[in-house]
Structure 1
Amino acid sequence: YVAVGNEPFLSAYNGSYLKTTFPALKNIHRALKEAGHTDVMKATIPQNAEVYQSANDKPSEGDFRSDVKQIMLDIVKFFHDNDLPFTVNIYPFLSLYLNQHFPVEYAFFDGNGQTIPDNGKNYDNVFDANYDTLVYALNKAGIKDMKIIVGWPTDGHRYATPKLAEKFYAGLMKKLAKDVGTPLRPEKLEVYLFGLLDEDMKSILPGPFERHWGIFRYDGTPKFMLDFTGQGRKIVPVAEKDEVGPDLDYACYHGDCTAMLYGSTCSNLDKIQNISYAFNMFFQIQGQDVRACDFRGSAMITKSNASVGSCLFPIQIVSGSGDFRISYVFGRFIVAGLILLGLVTAI
């Protein structure tokens, strides 16, 4: 999918993108069509769930927000005529953030909270209720068969924690694994996660949690257990260790991995420790230049001593003036220096 903007019709934007978003969508779609890609690549506009609402919090009263209703109807018709999906970002977390009296359990999928009856259907979580509010809004627009594709932050608010994010995602994955939809659309849902990584440069105007939607931290480490199969296994998504081979070769070629050779002091390290040692040697030889600590995102700087047994990781001590350097000082108790760690493994 090609996303044309992201949540352009938020009320906080005061209509700034009302006149430009739809034309941009049509231009992108036209370009894809002329290139012959529309059978496999679709243009869409990820909307915030704020573009539709319900007067009494019941899905059956769902309709598009009055100030964007006409433009939304035009966009929805264009989607329908060109076989494009409606994409929406649904954030149950925001229900808790915006309303201190919102029932906490209703934001999750456990069915432990209140149940809201509506036209013969019962809703026990806000995700289903929000989704079906959109379905009703589309139905009122005369579109009853449009494909709909659908986070939880982990910091910046008392409900923005890894524990609650894990609970939400575990419930969502379990629901998806059962191939069940919502009371109004019981068929299988198509869902995307918002988002993959935290974004440290993102605006916090919507709230201090805004930089913490990722299932991974800034450095790529996983925040919590997440089983994409929905089976509830205690596993975490980790880095692909097999992809680090070329980086390891580069670090050893431009660094010093002789201590890792057979019979040497660091010859008994496991795979991750080998990578960490090689990366650290390269980092130290490069004068602890932060640019030498990357390796396509598979490395990070730490103040923890990564030495293993008799295999001591060298630490370069640099004087404050920058004129004097002791290239290698070995000692497991020197923890003030920076040591480069390798890949993230399972928690």
Structure 2
Amino acid sequence: MATERGWWVSPVVGVICWLCLVVSVSGIGANWGMQTSHPLPASVVVRMLRENGFQKVKLFDAEDGTMNALKKSGLEVMVGIPNDMLATLATSVKAAEQWVKANVSDYINGGVNIRYVAVGNEPFLETYNGSFLQSTFPALQNIQGALIKAGLSSQVKVTVPLNADVYQSSSGRPSDGDFRSDIRDLMLAIVKFLSDNAAPFTVNIYPFISLYSDPNFPVEYAFFGGSSSPVVDASATYDNMFDANHDTLIWALKKNGFGNLPVIVGEIGWPTDGDMNANIQYAQRFNQGFMTHIATGQGTPMRPGPIDAYLFSLIDEDEKSIQPGNFERHWGIFTYDGLPKYQLNLGTSNSGGLVRAKNVNYLDKKWCVLKPSVNLDDSRVAPSVSYACANADCTSLGYKTSCGDMDTRGNISYAFNSYYQKNDQDDVACGFSNLATITNKDPSTGSCRFEIMIEADSGISCTFWQIRDQGVNLLLFVLVQLFLTLL
């Protein structure tokens, strides 16, 4: 989940680095999330993945349209099982077998190259307060049993994507790494099970979160290319957090007898908005630094060799929960409509840069803004803005964000337009008690982009109509797709 700041090199060095990337990176993957109000058509995303040279994709569930678009695409697929399904799969072998048939066997027979099943997603996060401690391992066992029964266990491996908070080091040195004391026995049981079934350990590593959570965290240590305060651990020197965090896991595995267990970096990245440290410059710097770092094929001090990784994430998701922070909706290396946010050399194409999505259909070039005649002291303004932001996306507004330099009128207009676009430019969605008006003049300024929404894929998004009259708000939820199916 992340984005970074500027990374520049001379043309000669750039050519050399590009050649290194092409030679050394066997294949970089991407996380493709679906928590968006207006998803790009799956076929458009699959084409974008291929044209950018991605060889692997990680999904958080097995949505039918997405899986069908991946048929005969040549992309390796890690398909996920949401956490809310773990309890059912843990208690029912039959449910696990049915899930594997519907979401693995049938798609493989149809031409989808499924290589992994991700059982849950960071189920042991401390913020979950143990909600999935009892169900994750039994679900993992039942899914593995179902894969064996289906004759797929050699081709498809199980794994559990885990946050890096499942291990720790009391001293800060990787060599003191071990699994978290409250889940250590459970982790060792899972690790042994993965090892017995020739399956990998999957970990999500986020230096950005450390920077976000700790104001004293050394900024340079989050990036690649050297730090003035490296961590020295016996003969190993760590000048970036990724290597140190990764090797803390390797040490935890090694000291418990599983030093050779394969490790996949399931998520790594940097957000571009929603926080003072989440911006395009830092995102580019981090992601390009990571790509250049793994291009050497040298790995980390404790685990030399190629690193298997999936960037987080492919596309912004405007409906992700912002409980962890406003940055959660801005992890994509592409915007919601498939535009590259910055130059990033994945080492997979001749252009050396990202290729935008093709055949994207937009709504009309019009925006909803605050009427110039409205007095900012009007009592209707504050509740209107609150309503718009609660039902759309205002995470680009705030201190040192992409739209943080606008005046009050600009902020209000941004909120109104976000709601208007999310509701497919319905005229009623630009009412706001007669405070707003529709304009054909783009109000975007500097780094702040006032979006024009894309046409929703297959009618997935719902339209929310707002009618305000005499201070009474009536919210009509119109289930468009359901209505159409009933005609």
Residues 160, 201 of structure 2: 8 Å contact kept: yes
Report deviation, 1:220. Answer: 2.1
- Where do 1:230-249 residues align within 5 Å? 235-239=353-357, 241=358, 244=359
Matched, 1:59 2:146: no
Structure 1 counterpart of 2:132, from 13, 17, 20: 17
Structure 2 counterpart of 1:70, from 177, 185, 192: 185
Matched, 1:218 2:333: no
Q: Which amino acid aligns with 1:129?
A: A
* Structure 2: unaligned runs, 5 residues or longer: 1-115, 368-424, 429-438, 443-450, 456-487
Structure 1 counterpart of 2:231, from 103, 113, 116: 116
Residues 227, 234 of structure 1: 8 Å contact kept: yes
Residues 346, 352 of structure 2: 8 Å contact kept: no
Alignment-derived partner of residue 303 in structure 1: 365
Instruction: Report the RMSD for the aligned CA atoms in angstroms.
Output: 2.7
Report the Cα distance in structure 2 between the residues aligned to 1:65 and 1:103, rounded to whole angstroms.
24
* Structure 1: unaligned runs, 5 residues or longer: 245-297, 306-317, 322-332, 343-347
Alignment-derived partner of residue 23 in structure 2: none
Report deviation, 1:122. Answer: 0.4
Report the Cα distance in structure 2 between the residues aligned to 1:123 and 1:47, rounded to whole angstroms.
23
Report the Cα distance in structure 2 between the residues aligned to 1:145 and 1:186, rounded to whole angstroms.
11
Change in 2 beyond 3 A, CA 1:319/1:9 = closer
Report the Cα distance in structure 2 between the residues aligned to 1:20 and 1:90, rounded to whole angstroms.
23
| Bigger Rg, which one | 1
Q: Secondary structure at the match of 2:308?
A: coil
- Where do 1:1-347 residues align within 5 Å? 1-150=116-265, 151-229=269-347, 235-239=353-357, 241=358, 244=359, 298-301=360-363, 303=365, 335=441
Residues 64, 72 of structure 1: 8 Å contact kept: yes
Report the Cα distance in structure 1 between the residues aligned to 2:323 and 2:128, rounded to whole angstroms.
11
Per-residue Cα deviation, 1:49-95 (whole angstroms, up to 9, x for no partner): 00000101110110111111111010000000000000000001011
Q: Percent identity?
A: 52
Q: Secondary structure at the match of 1:12?
A: helix
Q: Which amino acid aligns with 1:96?
A: L
Report the Cα distance in structure 2 between the residues aligned to 1:320 and 1:230, rounded to whole angstroms.
44
- Segment drifting more, 123-132 vs 104-113: 104-113
Residues 174, 231 of structure 1: 8 Å contact kept: no
Report deviation, 1:320. Answer: 7.0
Report the Cα distance in structure 1 between the residues aligned to 2:299 and 2:191, rounded to whole angstroms.
21
Q: Secondary structure at the match of 1:192?
A: strand
Report the Cα distance in structure 2 between the residues aligned to 1:111 and 1:201, rounded to whole angstroms.
36
Change in 2 beyond 3 A, CA 1:207/1:127 = same
Q: Secondary structure at the match of 1:209?
A: helix
Report the Cα distance in structure 1 between the residues aligned to 2:118 and 2:184, rounded to whole angstroms.
21
- Segment drifting more, 186-195 vs 226-235: 226-235
Residues 104, 113 of structure 1: 8 Å contact kept: no
How many pairs align? 262
Report the Cα distance in structure 1 between the residues aligned to 2:348 and 2:282, rounded to whole angstroms.
16
Q: Secondary structure at the match of 2:299?
A: coil
Change in 2 beyond 3 A, CA 1:90/1:230 = farther
Q: Secondary structure at the match of 1:117?
A: strand
Report deviation, 1:234. Answer: 5.8
Report deviation, 1:8. Answer: 0.4
Report the Cα distance in structure 1 between the residues aligned to 2:174 and 2:322, rounded to whole angstroms.
30
Per-residue Cα deviation, 1:297-347 (whole angstroms, up to 9, x for no partner): x22235279xxxxxxxxxxxx9979xxxxxxxxxxx9658x99989xxxxx
Q: Which has the higher strand share?
A: 2
